[in-house]
Amino acid sequence: MEDALMTRLATLSFVALLTLSPLALAGAAGAEDAPRPIRLNQTGLEAGGPKRAILADPSTAPLDWTLLDAAGATVAGGKTKVFGDDPASGEHVHQIDFSTFHKAGDGYRLKVGAIESRPFALRAKPDGKLTKAALSFFYQQRASVPILARFVERPDLARPAGHAPDKATCFDLADERGQVWPGCDYTLDASGGWYDAGDQGKYVVNGGISVWTLVNAWERATVLRRPRALKALGDRSLALPEHGNGVPDILDEARFELTFLLAMQVPDRKALQVPVGKQKPVDGKLTLTAIDASGMAHQKIADRYWTALPTAPADDRQVRYLYYPTTGATLNLAAVTAQAARVWKKIDPTFSARCLDAARRAFAAARRNPEIYQLGPFTGSGGYGDGDLADEAYWAAAELYATTGEPEYEKALRASPLFLAAPSVGGRPTGDLGWSSVGALGTITLALAPNRLKPAEVAQARANLTTSAGKYLSDDLGQGYALPYAAPGYPWGSNSAVLNRAVVLGLAYDFTGEVAYRYGAVDAMDYVLGRNPLDRSYVSGFGARPMRNPHHRFWARQADPAYPAPPAGVVSGGPNSTAMNDPVAETMKGQCKPQTCWTDDYRAFTQNEVAINWNAPLAWASAFLDDTAR
């Protein structure tokens, strides 16, 4: 970056919207605190909500605990609940519940024998800072535009535009198998959108669930008439260039990605050679077939080879390509543009109409070409390959039906084995929310957005989602660290799995008013923000021991002091005990329990990468908890 540019940008200030709490500032700039045996949410707890801490201790009998105020006076006390041996953490744990104490204040400490927790706050009202910071992540991942100092918390986070413009033609070289791809006769301007993760690729599949989650947070607030959420996500709520334009800021951010997704649609009357069906390479080669690709969506735009780490986006000199369109990408495009057509109908009718036209064309293209899978490999970018597209087809049909009410889409969604299904129940359970498991998104839309289903069917969609939330609460009870997630191994991006469960729990609370579901969402957030066996906040800038060294090509101070540390509000992928194939994780194989397979190291891309589809549920869950706090 040029010094003159940085000096000019540094004179601008818009930090009022991203002011961090004292704990956050300490975590961002101070020396790292030592781990403590009493673990709890490091950003503080709700005075009027649930309050739990976890103690790792070998005692098999309950222990006395006391709650001290800032002056050292005892204000509450009780006995720990012995959970016992906890397979996920490898610890013998006790649970401390002090939910009956409600006085707000700073400087509280829990004490068990000679062991004390760090001082923590009990908040009378939500401060909204995590929600703002989590959403600021998306602005700072924008491609093709400069990131300006007045919209970020520190001047060193400003940077010139990368990939401006971001134009590319189809990949027309030999891939890693020696397969020669024929390319195409057009170039698309796919400028804008969000860099996906720690790399500088942009992916339609992962963009789909990320956009949906942000837009759904706004749709929830409008449909359920939640004034606090409407204010927190509305115009003038975030530090953005679009601030004050009369449009909700969360939708301005989502639209930046939607514009990129729209640009990835194949023009009309274009034939392309692609692999059709679930092929296995023969002698390293796939069979390519000419198809009418009109209306389909390219899987991604990305560099030919992995960009060196660190590399600022403006310094990326790799040649970029469009990679062949897939049915999965096309259905993602259909789903989110149908959702956008509904949400923007009154805000911007022209944009709404453009989105609906794209959604119709994409849905028709996917039906015409139902089995074009991402088969790769292409060194330099992620795959996002998915061999089961029934969930994408159901999701797209549900969004189009909710928006249009047209018989074609109703017929498609009723014919799906996923009709009204939720993560753990229904004709064919959808599985947890994730980029490759999007069926529940369709059911959420049918349960939330006004549509023409029978009232009993809408009620069934809500009941199925609530049943799944109940399953998550059962998982919560079975975990030593009291989080609504149970798995024999923790997968890549496990924190997003926990946070996506918080989304379902939040909706179950909305649908039923049963506070237990909200408490489950609190447990999910408490885990991510420090109530875990590593005593770490996995969110940068928040807590005494926050994540500091993500796998990211620009927020890479650990790799090179010339680059910045991450901004506040970025969530790490978290513990990963199932795909330990980076240089750091490989040394931990067989040496860590699932919840402890994590290192705060920029080289640990399987554990400490960041991604748009991980920050999206963080923002949704944080906004929900702020909105529903008592």
pLDDT digits (tens, 9 = 90+) for 180-216: 999 999 999 999 999 999 999 999 999 999 999 999 9
Is residue 211 within 8 Å of residue 336, measured between CB atoms?
A: yes
**Which tens digits make up the pLDDT trace of 504-540?**
999 999 999 999 999 999 999 999 999 999 999 999 9
> What is the crossing angle of helices 407-415 and 390-404, to 10°?
150
**Nearest 10 degrees: CA dihedral of 300, 306, 307, 313?**
10
Chain segment 444-483, per-residue pLDDT in tens? 999 999 999 999 999 999 999 999 999 999 999 999 999 9
Block residue for tokens 């990468």: 609
Confidence of residue 389 (pLDDT cuts 50, 70, 90): very high
Query: Per the residue annotation, which of 249, 399, 601, 609 is the catalytic one?
Result: 609
**Strand stretches in 539-598, DSSP E:** none
pLDDT of residue 20: 38
The DSSP bridge partners found for residue 67 are: 76, 110
Residue of 57, 196, 199, 626 marked catalytic = 199
Is the pLDDT reported for residue 336 higher than 70?
yes
SS3 52: strand
Q: What is the pLDDT of residues 280-319, one digit of tens each?
A: 888 889 999 999 999 999 999 999 999 999 999 999 999 9
- pLDDT mean across residues, the chain: 94
Question: Does the pLDDT value for residue 30 go beyond 60?
Answer: no
pLDDT value of position 282: 82
CA distance 571 to 137: 9
pLDDT-based confidence at residue 14 (cuts at 50, 70, 90)? very low
**pLDDT tops 60 at residue 364:** yes
CA distance 47 to 392: 41
Q: What is the pLDDT of residue 206?
A: 97
What was the pLDDT predicted at 281? 85
Q: Is the pLDDT of residue 257 over 60?
A: yes
Mean pLDDT for 369-380 is 92
Closest CA to 198 of 313, 298, 328: 313
- Element holding 96 (H helix, E strand): strand 91-97
Share of the chain above pLDDT 90, in %: 93
Per the annotation, the verdict on 257 as an active-site residue is no
Q: What is the pLDDT of residue 31?
A: 56
Say if residues 428 and 421 touch (Cβ distance below 8 Å): yes
pLDDT at 136 over 80: yes
Q: For residue 377, what pLDDT band results from cuts at 50, 70 and 90?
A: confident
Give the pLDDT of residue 33: 85
Q: Indicate if the pLDDT at residue 5 is higher than 50.
A: no
Q: What is the pLDDT of residue 600?
A: 98
- Out of 5-19, 48-62, 407-421, pick the least confident: 5-19
Phi, psi of 65 (to 5 degrees): -125, 150
Average pLDDT over residues 102-120: 98
Query: Of 551, 582, 601, 626, which residue is the catalytic one?
Result: 551
Span 21-40, mean pLDDT? 63
Amino acid at 273: Q
| Residue 155, φ and ψ in degrees, nearest 5 | -60, -30
> What pLDDT score was predicted for residue 170?
98
What would the two tokens of residue 538 be? 């996995």
Q: How far apart are CA 217 and CA 617, in angstroms?
A: 9
The predicted pLDDT at position 459 comes to 98
Tokens of 151: 């919209």
* Distance between CA atoms of residues 577 and 383, nearest Å: 21
Between residues 17 and 357, which one has the greater pLDDT? Answer: 357
Examine the residue annotation and report whether 185 is marked as an active-site residue of this protein.
no
Active site residue 316: no
The DSSP H or E segment spanning 391 is: helix 390-404
Which range, of 96-100, 282-286, 438-442, 556-560, averages the lowest pLDDT?
A: 282-286
Residue 16 pLDDT: 38
Strand ranges (E), 450-495: none
Residue with structure tokens 């993560």?
423
In angstroms, what CA-CA distances link 296 with 122, 267, 329, 360? 51, 8, 8, 11
Return the SS3 of 373.
coil
CA separation, residue 62 to residues 112, 113, 491 (Å): 11, 12, 33
pLDDT tops 60 at residue 12: no
> In Å, how far from its chain's centre is CA 253?
14
Of the candidates 91, 523, 600, 601, the residue annotated as catalytic is 600
Residue 179's φ and ψ, nearest 5 degrees, are -70, 125
Residue 32 has what pLDDT? Answer: 67
| pLDDT at 4 (0 to 100) | 31
Mean per-residue pLDDT, 73-89? 98
The pLDDT tens digits of the residues spanning 491-508 come to 999 999 999 999 999 999
Q: Would you call 116 a catalytic residue per the annotation?
A: no
Tens of pLDDT along 234-250?
999 999 999 999 999 99
Residue 3 CB contacts under 8 Å (≥ 6 apart), including other chains: none
